[in-house]
Chain A
Amino acid sequence: MAGGKEITTKIRSIENTRKVTSALEMVSASKIRKSQALMNATRPYARMMRRVMGHMSKANPEYRHPFTIEREEIKKVGYIIVSTDRGLCGGLNTNLFKLVLNDIGLWQGKGAQISLVTLGKKALAFFKNLKVEIAAHASGLGEKPQIEDLIGSIKVMLDAYREGTLDRLYIVYNDFINTMTQKPTMERLLPLPATDDEEIRDIWDYIYEPDAESLLDTVLVRYIESLVYQSVLENLASEHAARMIAMKNATDNAGELIDDLTLIFNKARQAAITQEISEIVGGAAAV
């Protein structure tokens, strides 16, 4: 029976692969639900933050924070790139990096320098081969990222912005739209997009404790941190969704391969049987 043994071994090995991919698929499916719950739990904070910021922008500001002032000349552009630690999640990271590369190209064309913060191992591995500065890095954030793990990397960029060595800051991450769709997204963090200044204000102001400057600073820093944190969670949910889809495809493909191989195996066996019979018949006729 020609090749029968080889084909069965191959079928068995693909069956094992299929077991692994379908297990990974199920793991990711359950993780999506958890990370979605995390994502939803952080929404009230962002909503309240925006409410307070809205009130603050309506109050009588005798002081404008540097984070809200647009700079004329852009010498250096920063990106916070949110990626995954692990692979096997389809084109999730690649699509994101393509978006960043395009934008970096545009700024470099204008003569601006680039500085990156990479969150997640995949971003670091990708961007360290490029000739760009990597100012800070954090990885191993796990299934339940903590805001503490992000503060440091964010502060590096905020300090650079305060000192005037950085003129723009973007965040790039995969926006979780639903399980089937994740969208690579780029948003501007600094300078903060302006709120409409035109509306007529009532004349009122806060009682600031201790003072307006340090309070505004604290609120803005917290706001940016909460935006980055939200992005990290979005990206985490996207990662699990993308991995689930990738693994589902792999499982389906393995199934098709097994079907094809089984067909080949059956044909080979039938051919062998036919051959044996004709040999016996031929032998009997000769006698």
Chain B
Amino acid sequence: MSKTIRCDIVSAHEEIYSGDAVMIFATGVVGELGISPRHAPLITQLKPGPVRVQQPDGEEVFFFVGGGILEVQPHIVTVLADTAVRADDLDEAAAVRAKEEAERELQDRTGEMEVAEAQAKLAEAIAQLQALEQLRKRLKR
């Protein structure tokens, strides 16, 4: 019977911790959790807070997570940490911003793309004028 449980903590940006643990502490939305080996399968959302991992050599490591998901299988614990600060109204605001961004870009006739287009046309017109000028000079001669 193993006395340790495998623990993987990852965020979208990096792998934070991977190794064996004797005990893992975290803050779930319902309350504090302490997970030892052969815990019953459990899945919970995490509150922003510390995750504490007791290693087999007796040392403890701390990580701060800004929320996320914790999954427990009898021999494995997975923490999917959020990197972004998440809340329903924050997400809503972000969605509204993304929509507005699209609308603004579509409305905006003087947007960057139009400027680039206009510049290209201007360069073409200048080139044509120069060509005409040279032709005229040659005809005079």
Spell out A's residues near B (CB within 8 Å): 41-42, 44-45, 48-49, 51-52, 55-56, 59, 117-118, 121, 124-125, 128, 134-139, 146-148, 151-153, 155-156, 159, 204-210, 214-215, 218-219, 222, 225-226, 229
A and B contact pairs by CB, cutoff 8 A, 19 listed: A41-B14, A44-B15, A45-B10, A52-B43, A52-B69, A124-B113, A134-B102, A135-B99, A137-B102, A137-B105, A151-B91, A152-B91, A153-B98, A155-B91, A155-B92, A156-B95, A204-B41, A209-B43, A210-B44
The answer to whether A42 touches B13, judged by C-beta atoms less than 8 angstroms apart, is: yes
User: Are B94 and A52 in contact, with the CB atoms below 8 A?
Assistant: no
Given the known A-B contacts A42-B12, A49-B80, A152-B97, are A210 and B73 also in contact in the complex, defined by CB atoms under 8 Å?
no
Asked if B99 and A156 make an inter-chain contact with CB atoms under 8 angstroms apart, the answer reads yes
B95 & A209 in contact (Cβ 8 Å cutoff): no
B29 touches A128 (CB 8 A): no
Residues of B within 8 A of A48 (CB): 8, 10, 78, 80
Give the residue of A136, A137, A146, A147 whose beta carbon is less than 8 angstroms from that of B95: A136
Q: How far is the CA of A59 from the CA of B101 in the complex (A)?
A: 41
Question: Is B95 a contact of A215 with CB atoms below 8 Å?
Answer: no
Q: Assuming the A-B contacts A152-B91, A156-B95, are A51 and B44 also in contact, with contact meaning beta carbons closer than 8 angstroms in the complex?
A: no
Known contacts A137-B105, A147-B84, A215-B43, A44 near B73 by CB under 8 Å:
no
Q: How far is the CA of A155 from the CA of B13 in the complex (A)?
A: 20
A121 to B41, CA, bound (A): 45
Contact B95 A124 (CB under 8 A): no
A119 → B minimal CB distance (Å) = 10
List B residues at the A interface (Cβ < 8 Å): 8, 10-15, 18, 28-30, 40-45, 69, 71, 73, 78, 80, 82-84, 91-99, 101-102, 105-106, 112-113
Q: Which of B8, B82, B95 has the most CB of A within 10 A?
A: B95
State whether A52 touches B80 (Cβ < 8 A): yes
Question: B12 to A218, Cβ gap below 8 A?
Answer: no
Are B14's CB and A118's CB within 8 A?
Answer: no
Contact of B11 among A45, A124, A151 (CB under 8 A): A45
Query: Could you say which of B28, B91, B102 has the most chain A C-beta atoms within 10 Å of its C-beta?
Result: B102
Across the two chains, which residue of chain B brings its CB closest to A209? Answer: B44
Q: Which of A51, A56, A136 is within 8 Å of B101, CB to CB?
A: A136
- Asked whether, in the complex, the Cβ of A156 is within 8 Å of the Cβ of B98, the reply is yes
How many angstroms from the CA of A152 to the CA of B91 in the assembled complex?
6
In the bound complex, do residue A45 and residue B95 qualify as a contact, i.e. CB atoms below 8 Å apart? no
* Apart from the given pairs A45-B12, A215-B43, 5 other A-B contacts in the complex at a CB distance below 8 Å: A55-B73, A56-B43, A147-B84, A153-B95, A155-B92
Task: For the complex, give the distance between the alpha carbons of A131 and B58 in Å.
Answer: 64
CB distance from B6 to the nearest CB of A (A): 11
| A51 & B43 in contact (Cβ 8 Å cutoff) | no
State the 6 A-B residue pairs at the shortest beta-carbon distance, nearest first: A152-B94, A152-B98, A137-B102, A209-B44, A136-B98, A155-B95
Q: Which of A138, A148, A215 contacts B44 (CB 8 A)?
A: A215
Provided the pairs A41-B13, A55-B73 are in contact, do residues A218 and B45 lie with their beta carbons within 8 angstroms? yes
B90 → chain A, closest Cβ, in Å? 8
* Complex Cα–Cα for A136 and B100 (A): 7
Chain B residue with minimal CB distance to A56? B43
B73 partner residues in chain A, CB cutoff 8 A? 55
A229 and B84 CA atoms in complex are apart in Å by 13
On whether the beta carbons of B69 and A222 are closer than 8 Å, the reply is yes
Q: Which residue of A lies closest to B113 (CB)?
A: A125
| Contacting residues, chain A, for B112 (C-beta < 8 A) | 121
Q: Assess the B29–A226 pair: CB atoms within 8 A.
A: no
Inter-chain CA distance A219–B68, complex, in Å, is 9
Q: Could you say which residues of chain B place their CB within 8 Å of the CB of A45?
A: 10-13, 15, 80
Say whether A138 contacts B80, CB under 8 Å. Answer: no
